Amino acid sequence: MVNLSEILISGSVPNKVVINKENGISYVVFAVHHQGGVIVIGPLIGRESKDWFDSCWLINKNDLLERYYLPYNE
């Protein structure tokens, strides 16, 4: 099993599904800033839309590790 912190490589585009620990909703970790401290995360639904990126947000790496986890099949 891969640990979430292992996919958060600076400058990478992991495009991995994560699950929110509080509500069980799936999201996508789309990109990691080149310095590694900020992550772009967005909804799992609607990724084929050209407006999908507008619904994404930034999250601090520590907050992501605290509030989300990788599903077992990743």
Distance CA 51, CA 4 (A): 27
Residue 46: per-residue pLDDT: 81
pTM for this predicted structure = 0.86
Residue 69: DSSP 8-state: E
Amino acid at 22: E
Which whole number is the average pLDDT over 47-66? 91
Which whole number is the average pLDDT over 45-55? 85
Mean confidence (pLDDT) of the chain:
91
Which whole number is the average pLDDT over 29-45? 93
Query: 39 pairs with which residues across the strands?
Result: 32, 59
> By CB neighbour count within 10 A (0-12 exposed, 13-18 middle, 19+ buried), where does 7 fall?
middle
